[in-house]
């Protein structure tokens, strides 16, 4: 913002500048963004459901035991797509649709690891791969702790 040389003041105050900046912002295509996020997020979930059905009907898993290999395969697919630069292109197009918990988390860990691999495996990859995902892990652990306390207090058991 330019300053007036004579008196050292800016021509607009903060509120005037924010109002002016709002008039220059391009309109956000909210409906289009929501549709893209829904389609891509739904497609990721569809792939997950298809994998689960494959493990149940193709490999004889039960509904309870098919979840773990399904999640593992989704993580592997997400890491591979991130490594080849495909996941980021999908994320640019779909926005929040790629933040499906398992694949989005794997993408965040893998992309941080790839970004810092030139610094070495210990200080680069190991020291930086959880920078973005670390807060998610901490929140998950803390939330699980409090849910466990509530279950213990009210005697809600599993089964």
Q: What's the total number of domains in the chain?
A: 1
Residue pair 41/63 in contact (Cβ under 8 Å)? The answer is no
pLDDT surpassing 50 at residue 152: yes
Whether the full predicted model's pTM is greater than 0.85, yes or no, is no
Residue pair 104/79 in contact (Cβ under 8 Å)? The answer is no
Residue bearing the bigger pLDDT, 87 or 20: 87
- Does some domain include residue 102? yes
Give Cα separations from 40 to 16, 20, 43, 103, 110 (angstroms): 39, 35, 5, 12, 20
- Does some domain include residue 6? no
- Does some domain include residue 139? yes
Residue pair 128/110 in contact (Cβ under 8 Å)? The answer is no
End-to-end alpha carbon distance in the chain: 64
**Cβ within 8 Å of residue 99, ≥6 positions away:** 41
Give the pair of three-digit tokens for residue 15.
Answer: 């509120």
Specify burial of residue 157 (Cβ count, 10 A radius: 0-12, 13-18, 19+): exposed
pLDDT digits (tens, 9 = 90+) for 21-75: 888 888 889 999 999 999 999 999 999 999 999 999 999 999 999 999 999 999 9
For residue 77, what pLDDT is reported?
Answer: 96
- 78: pLDDT confidence band, cut at 50, 70 and 90? very high
- Does some domain include residue 100? yes
pLDDT digits (tens, 9 = 90+) for 82-126: 999 999 999 999 999 998 878 998 998 888 888 888 888 888 888
- Does some domain include residue 1? no
- Does some domain include residue 84? yes
Residue range(s) defining the domain that contains residue 86: 30-151
For residue 5, what pLDDT is reported?
Answer: 46
For residue 80, what pLDDT is reported?
Answer: 96
- Does some domain include residue 25? no
- Does some domain include residue 4? no
């Amino acid at each position: 913002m330019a300053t007036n040389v004579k008196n050292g003041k800016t021509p607009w105050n903060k509120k005037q500048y924010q109002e002016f900046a709002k008039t220059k912002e391009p309109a956000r295509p909210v409906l289009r963004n929501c549709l893209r996020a829904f389609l891509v997020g739904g497609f990721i979930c569809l792939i997950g459901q298809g994998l689960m059905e494959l493990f149940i009907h193709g490999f004889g898993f039960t509904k309870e035991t098919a979840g773990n290999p399904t999640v593992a395969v989704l993580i592997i697919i997400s890491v591979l797509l991130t490594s080849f630069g495909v996941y980021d292109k999908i994320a640019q197009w779909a926005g929040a649709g790629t933040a499906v918990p398992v694949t989005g988390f794997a993408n965040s860990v893998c992309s941080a690891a790839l970004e810092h691999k030139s610094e070495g495996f210990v200080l680069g990859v190991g020291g930086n791969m959880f920078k973005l995902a670390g807060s998610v892990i901490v929140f998950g652990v803390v939330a699980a702790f409090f849910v466990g306390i509530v279950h213990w207090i009210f005697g809600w058991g599993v089964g």
